[in-house]
Structure 1
Amino acid sequence: MNNPFPALMVQGTTSDAGKSTVVAALCRLLMRRGVTVAPFKPQNMALNSAVTADGGEIGRAQALQALACGIAPHTDMNPVLLKPSSNTGAQVIIHGKVRAEMDARDYQQYKTIAMGAVLESYARLRQQYAAVIVEGAGSPAEVNLRARDIANMGFAEAVDCPVILVADIDRGGVFAHIIGTLACLSDSERARILGFVINRFRGDISLLQPGIDWLEQQTGKPVLAVLPYLQGLFLDAEDAVEAMQTERGAFKVLVPQLPRISNHTDVDALRAHPGIDLQFIQQGQPIPPADLVILPGSKNTRGDLAWLQQQGWPAYLAKHLRYGGKLLGICGGFQMLGLSVCDPLGVEGDAGESKALGLLDMVTELTAQKRLQQVRGHCAFAGAHDARVAGYEIHMGVSQGAALLQPAFMIDGRPEGAVSGDGQILGSYLHGMFDTPAACSALLRWAGLDSGHTVDTAALREASLERIADAALPLLAALEQIKR
């Protein structure tokens, strides 16, 4: 049987239980069988996003899942995206475009409207594809969010979609997570759960079997699969900064872990490079010497700039540059390198202006209109190497000043970014610059590492998708058995 379920929803007992990975694995398995399949996440809250071919913005996990399906990412795959800008507020993106900035209470009321967008997108995908694999958000056990739910069981009930429940055994308490989740559901919601997936297991499976037997007896539902803990996967993180097991190299790269860090996947290629030791520096952590410092993207540039200043980064960067270190700013990090960042409309928080790091002669004004575009070009800073680059832009700011007269890139025939007169500082709005091997090599040469080693992120990502699909074969077989 090629396609056991035309629609199937993967929910989790907790955030980061492995829902995104299980969805990607099922998508790849169905694609292997010739089934036309698409991913779908009704509502996503994430600061890692991707630009689609239709000029919209979706969660990066859904772009990865589209790759697993062998199709181009589309805004219908993630019709509602929430990008937190504070502890209580977020930018609300509907069908790939910014709709409003809302606090949590207002958004709770807005969900009724958002559900309309969700059902529209889902209906279009069901018409176009033989199978749609749906990812839930967080956990269906969050009883405080049950009213107007569009992300988990509220959606599953609305479209009458079967559900599998994923739990992460690596964090402990897997049986309590499953039993507790079921206890928080209504009778009809429990009834639509086909069974459970125990994720990230390592050890002797025979020692787990008594627990599986007990769980199945208690719930009357099967454990569909026990998936292994897979080391060294190269898959785009949905949001949280995740550890990657790699050998530590001699070339030191530091990235401040901003409170509202955005698209930190920009540095994944460097994390996978055997010659690089990349560290995210958290609040209060001592800042060690480095060869290269990267200021990453931010969903709240002025707020994260204030955090940098509070953490002592300006003094550190002055010393770093004085001793010949290199500094790269990406998107929000690029804006921080200038003289000031002004937000007259309050698009990222309170309206106002902040003094920036003063390292590049430019000023930035945040605007209501967001630039969303996939781009290609070459590295202007690379000279005779003429390295090609590809990536995407996601930003709401416009930068102006003399620093831009010496661009970092030429993108689609236009100058982009800036390089300081002494060549030590480079800034750009371009996300994904390290994902093109030629551009990655050129950037590392500029930073002081000419190792000759290239990281092909596309190949690493593809190999990881194949690994997780192979591991999920027992899950697909179990789903086929249920269908029979």
Structure 2
Amino acid sequence: MPARAIMLQGTGSSVGKSMLVAGLARALVRRGLSVRPFKPQNMSNNAAVTADGGEIGRAQALQALAAGVPPSVHMNPVLLKPETEGGSQVVVQGRVHARAGAREYQKMKPDLMPFVLESFGRLRAAADFVLVEGAGSASEINLRGGDIANMGFARAVDVPVVVVGDIDRGGVIASLVGTHAVLSPEDAATVVGFVVNRMRGDTSLFSAGMELIAERTGWPALGLVPWFDDARLLPAEDSLDLVEHARRPQGGGRIVVAVPVLPRIANFDDLDPLAAEPEVELVLVRPGEALPGRADLVILPGSKATIADLAAFRAAGWDVDLAAHRRRGGRVLGLCGGFQMLGRRIADPDGVEGPACTVDGLGMLNVETVLTADKKLVEVSGETVADGVPFRGYEMHLGRTQGPDAERPLVRLTQGRLDGAVSADGLVSGTYMHGFFADDGQRSAWLGRLGAAPSTRNHAASVEATLDRLAAHLEAHLDIDRILSSAR
């Protein structure tokens, strides 16, 4: 018998759908159900590698963790990874399928629906319950034709919908009532209720608002969810969330780690374990701000468009700041695209990221990178060469990097392969490895190099405990029994 399913759609992007699905997944597992998360279409450069060598949105990997199952490419069959303001890499069932501008992608969507339906069918056959997450806004009726992400998918598979609004951003009554107003009667009929998310303060103050929304829409209220502050301890879904975090201090420790927020920053959950360390102050630097002179370590993060982000790095004046940091004896670490930027040159002879070109890198590592179309997607383990500290992580990158400093590799993988590079003075290093700091031993070693006490945190256990608290939070504030009974 196929699993029952229900779909959470939002009144807009970033209303908290991903966190709600993760929390519901953990809550249902605690009730003894076998659960799978599913998002037909996601747009994010924060991706995760699956065991079968594909990639999906990081939010779906977190939801899989909440459900207690390995992440699968079928949990996010269409992933859009923005490369320019108007174009994205289109990943289908874990593999690069095409590159398309926004208008081209709209024409492509009907051809992608069979992949979406196949993946959903696989998950539905393997579980008791499937939690489906929509994308963007349910009210984007201008994109309704050929839709695979919201009502088009829900209607295609006859899955009931819960609409989620975010009271923290304001206008939640208008957004929910307005969503009902613009939906076609057929689409509106799929909705079995609404949730208001992220309420700060006294929830009783909005009881009249909940009643008004129910009266105007005819949709039953399924819950008013208070703000869950510990959501900051879980990976952010996209760079909009990261920019919001950049406005808030990240820890107050004596070790300062600075990270420039690049326009196409990718896999930025690499930073989460550091941000949670009490000895670390993580400073996320936006364009228009200088890299702080008090930084002990500057991390150049991953990038979906290395050459474009390198140009943005220079335009922000961060190349000057980084050179000054290096002269002061500060450490620098480049991760994936950031590693490529630290070299002497980056060549893109086949136009992988845009027009074919060769550009000068920051010159802090004596290596050169050639971008190639073949993409490495693999889980890895190994150890740092200098001190033999083990780590587990993953690779997700295009290109090959070679040169004299690569003869001083940063890591040795279990299979014997070497990766990364270290400068002659040992202050600058780079690697293609992601998930470096999620490994407790490796993170503790880096803190020691920076003069901090070794870490006492178990990052994986912290994430698990946070998911448990999130599940309990939703059990207390959502009508989960009614959500379950509304599914089909």
TM over 0.5: yes
Which residue does 1:274 correspond to in 2?
A: 278
For each residue in 1:279-310, what CA deviation from the matched residue of structure 2 results, as whole angstroms up to 9, or x when unmatched?
A: 11111113321111000000110000011111
Which residue does 1:261 correspond to in 2?
A: 265
SS at match of 2:433: coil
For each residue in 1:92-136, what CA deviation from the matched residue of structure 2 results, as whole angstroms up to 9, or x when unmatched?
A: 101101111111111111111111110110111111111111000
Which residue does 2:91 correspond to in 1?
A: 93
Which residue does 2:479 correspond to in 1?
A: 475
Q: Which amino acid aligns with 2:427?
A: Q
Q: CA deviation at 1:432?
A: 0.6
Q: Which amino acid aligns with 2:424?
A: G
Q: Which amino acid aligns with 1:354?
A: V
Q: Which amino acid aligns with 1:109?
A: K
- For normalisation by structure 1, the TM-score amounts to 0.96
Which residue does 1:73 correspond to in 2?
A: 71
1:444 aligns with 2:444: no
Contact 2:256 2:296 in 1 (8 A): yes
2: distance between equivalents of 1:251 and 1:49? 28
Contact 1:197 1:223 in 2 (8 A): yes
Q: CA deviation at 1:210?
A: 1.1
Contact 1:10 1:166 in 2 (8 A): yes
Cα–Cα, structure 1 residues 370 and 480, in superposed 2: closer, same or farther, change >3 Å? closer
2: distance between equivalents of 1:6 and 1:177? 28
For each residue in 1:182-211, what CA deviation from the matched residue of structure 2 results, as whole angstroms up to 9, or x when unmatched?
A: 112111111111111110112222211111
1: distance between equivalents of 2:110 and 2:204? 47
Q: CA deviation at 1:223?
A: 1.0
Contact 1:269 1:455 in 2 (8 A): no
Q: Percent identity?
A: 49
SS at match of 2:434: coil
Higher mean C-alpha deviation, range 210-219 or range 134-143:
210-219
Which residue does 2:236 correspond to in 1?
A: 237
Which residue does 1:435 correspond to in 2?
A: 438
SS at match of 1:68: helix
Q: CA deviation at 1:456?
A: 2.1
Contact 2:251 2:275 in 1 (8 A): no
1: distance between equivalents of 2:174 and 2:456? 45
Which residue does 2:398 correspond to in 1?
A: 396
RMSD of aligned Cα (Å): 1.7
Q: Which amino acid aligns with 2:286?
A: Q
Which residue does 2:336 correspond to in 1?
A: 331
For each residue in 1:135-182, what CA deviation from the matched residue of structure 2 results, as whole angstroms up to 9, or x when unmatched?
A: 000111112211111000000010000000111111111101101111
Contact 2:365 2:429 in 1 (8 A): no
Which residue does 2:139 correspond to in 1?
A: 141
Which residue does 1:365 correspond to in 2?
A: 370
Contact 1:246 1:274 in 2 (8 A): no
Q: Which amino acid aligns with 1:337?
A: L
Which residue does 1:296 correspond to in 2?
A: 301
After TM superposition, the structure 1 = structure 2 runs for residues 8-407 of structure 1, keeping only pairs within 5 Å, are 8-233=6-231, 234-240=233-239, 241=242, 242-243=244-245, 247-289=251-293, 290-381=295-386, 383=387, 386-407=388-409
Contact 2:254 2:279 in 1 (8 A): yes
1: distance between equivalents of 2:249 and 2:469? 16
Q: CA deviation at 1:481?
A: 5.8
1:423 aligns with 2:426: yes
1: distance between equivalents of 2:484 and 2:292? 53
* Count of aligned residue pairs for this structure pair: 478
Contact 1:46 1:59 in 2 (8 A): yes
2: distance between equivalents of 1:483 and 1:141? 22
Q: CA deviation at 1:90?
A: 0.4
Contact 1:231 1:245 in 2 (8 A): no
2: distance between equivalents of 1:403 and 1:251? 27
1: distance between equivalents of 2:137 and 2:363? 44
- Structure 1 segments (4+ residues) deviating >6 Å: none
Q: Which amino acid aligns with 2:281?
A: D
Contact 1:101 1:347 in 2 (8 A): no
Which residue does 2:463 correspond to in 1?
A: 461
2: distance between equivalents of 1:190 and 1:281? 43
Contact 1:295 1:330 in 2 (8 A): yes
2: distance between equivalents of 1:449 and 1:437? 17
SS at match of 2:314: helix
Q: Which amino acid aligns with 1:263?
A: N
1: distance between equivalents of 2:486 and 2:95? 39
2: distance between equivalents of 1:223 and 1:303? 46
Q: CA deviation at 1:391?
A: 0.5
Cα–Cα, structure 1 residues 353 and 249, in superposed 2: closer, same or farther, change >3 Å? same
Q: CA deviation at 1:450?
A: 2.9
Contact 1:365 1:399 in 2 (8 A): yes
Contact 2:251 2:282 in 1 (8 A): no
2: distance between equivalents of 1:363 and 1:315? 21
SS at match of 2:168: coil
Contact 2:160 2:486 in 1 (8 A): no
For each residue in 1:291-334, what CA deviation from the matched residue of structure 2 results, as whole angstroms up to 9, or x when unmatched?
A: 11000000110000011111112221111111110000000000
Q: CA deviation at 1:346?
A: 1.5
2: distance between equivalents of 1:310 and 1:245? 25
Q: CA deviation at 1:70?
A: 0.4
Q: CA deviation at 1:245?
A: 6.6
Higher mean C-alpha deviation, range 358-367 or range 227-236:
227-236
- For normalisation by structure 2, the TM-score amounts to 0.95
Q: Which runs of 5+ in 1 are unaligned?
A: none
Q: CA deviation at 1:482?
A: 5.0
